[in-house]
Structure 1
Amino acid sequence: MFEQPMWQTFLSRLRAAAGVAQAAIVVMAASGEDVIEVRSGQGGEGFARFLTEGHADESARLQLMREARVYALEEIVAAGGPAQAGFAADVLRPAGIFDLRAVRLREPAGLDGWLILAGREELGAAQGRLLALVVPHFRAALRAFSALERERARAQISAEAFRRMNFGWITLDAACCVVDMDSQAESLLARTSAIRKGPRGRLLPASPEIDRALTSQVRALAADPAARPKALHLSRDPWIDLLVAPVRLHGLAGGNQPVAVAYISGDRSSSADRREQLVGLFGLSPSEARLAWAMAQGLGIAEAAAELGLTVETARNYSKKIYAKTGARGQADLVRHILTSVLALA
């Protein structure tokens, strides 16, 4: 199933063993919408339509072909209807296919799978027996394929959640070299100068102090996998943090084994961009937006005033206008308003 197209080696060997012109596999989701069809050899195309047209729901498919029973072409046409008869006349015969054997299986999670042998002459009992012998193995393949599809879907959902939260991950070996990373981490590294992947694969923070702290933490995790995670602050504008934790799962793949995973979180926008977005979202003035963003980063009124070159009294006046325009009842509420607004997705 890892070949492209899938199952080609199996289908070509099955076709040769059966002495037929074509072997095919059709896999359909329970909804009947997502369909995979792979073939080996020359013959017809569109077997999914032949096996399901006019029988889209599960009960109708069961009536057309009972599970695990081998059917001949004439049986499917007789049990089907105009769609099946038309396919045989309009697609199979012009392609030189005059007979076939097919079997249908249902995977417990809901996938339907069909295995088809198509020949240029009448097929006999030998091809039917061969399909019957293959049924247990085809069932196992369907289950494995279904499990992989579930894991792929879960991985996609997890990746999307990480993307929306601006999180990525980087696995590191004992020498602080990158073993692997996800696309979100690659994107974060591409747009910041605070940390990068060095020419020999080493993860290099721009700050020597942070570099020493990162190296020390990875060495500690290599020596003691139970060591506590450590957070490192890389950049304030845009905001980027790193949490270096032990790797809890280990695979059997070759190459360097990771000893640590660095979860990287970074804002996609600069402070200037965020201030412009606050102006548009809440109707703040540029001065109010600068103060609101500083407060959203955890600075108190006095700290924000000092950073922005304002008097504390001016900052307090601005904050009252900010609270009124955003509907916040205080700084904690303001932080929630800003960080849970659509800015989090910007």
Structure 2
Amino acid sequence: MLDANEFGDAVAMLYEAAAVPEVWPTAIARLAEIAGCTGGLLFVHSRQGTNWVASKEFSSVFQRFLDQGWMDRNARMAGLLAHGGTGFVTDHDLFTEDELAETALYRDFLRPEGYGWGTATHVRSSSGETIVFTLERKFELGPVSRRETELLDSVRPHLARAAVLASKLQMQRAQVSLDSFEKAGSPAALVGAGGALCAANPGFEALIGQIVVRARDKIALEDTRANALLQKALADLGQDRVGDTRSIPVPCRGDRPAFIVHVLPVRRLARDIFSRAQALLVITTTARGLRIEASLLCELYDLTRAEAAVAGGLLEGRTVEQLALSRGVGRETVRGQVKAVLAKTGSRSQADFIRRLAPLTLSA
């Protein structure tokens, strides 16, 4: 059994990861060490897609797993979900030796990668997501033993609570972002994989009619031309190509005025595997714009406070020299912050950055 210090350390790390997503790889590696495994991963699966995080040792292996399409033919996960147990299960709990030798996942992927033994458990969150935690062991080390799964089972209640807590915290963070836009008088919504609506503020919901929610919660626009632009913008979120159209005019409908839909890629929140959001849709009218507060820039793009201040200055048309003078720092410091802003917002130049975000700011 784990001694009190080892147990406390593993549990504390799980709850820290629930609040600070960047800690998950270290927490996973710690549990892998407890179980005598090489590494592991945590992934969250819902109808809107699959998000995942892995320990450093296993990250590249799982990326190849996804790239080769094994998620859609994952016999192990199917067996895990069908098993119905509440603890950690091993390969021998799911398959016989003959089945392991004949199952494509083991034969054609895990064993050629040097793996083939592991243990896993799953949790169902209140929001309908399936949270799967799996630890992987090198094939040469042999199967995970019952004693090792019993050690993991002693930690599992805390793992389950930490995962569910992380999911709830992420939903709260998303709602705070939407509330910020509501207070500014701007409709906004978070959109996930495949253009599925994750959450919306009341202002956005009031536009239902010009905005349409289709099967599987897929967001669309009633106007055909505007909708084509929206779907392309959502499909191209990760590519950041010059000339992308992410500010989309929507014509009036009866007595309802025209407006503009701005599509913002969600950078920071996407780093949290419990975030289902990939884009933020913000609505503005032609009569008014929206000022992006520094705190929101920090949240959306993972900017530091100093970088957010520089970003605001660029949007106001200030030069590097002016920013350095007004902030009492050297020009090289500001240049470094500008480079960070461009990298984090997916912009190729200052002009590109201004083009992307200017539609969301109030002109002087």
| TM-score higher than 0.5 | no
Larger radius of gyration: 1
Q: TM-score, with normalisation over the residues of structure 2?
A: 0.41
Q: TM-score, with normalisation over the residues of structure 1?
A: 0.43
Greater RCO, 1 or 2 (C-alpha within 8 Å, sep 6+) = 2
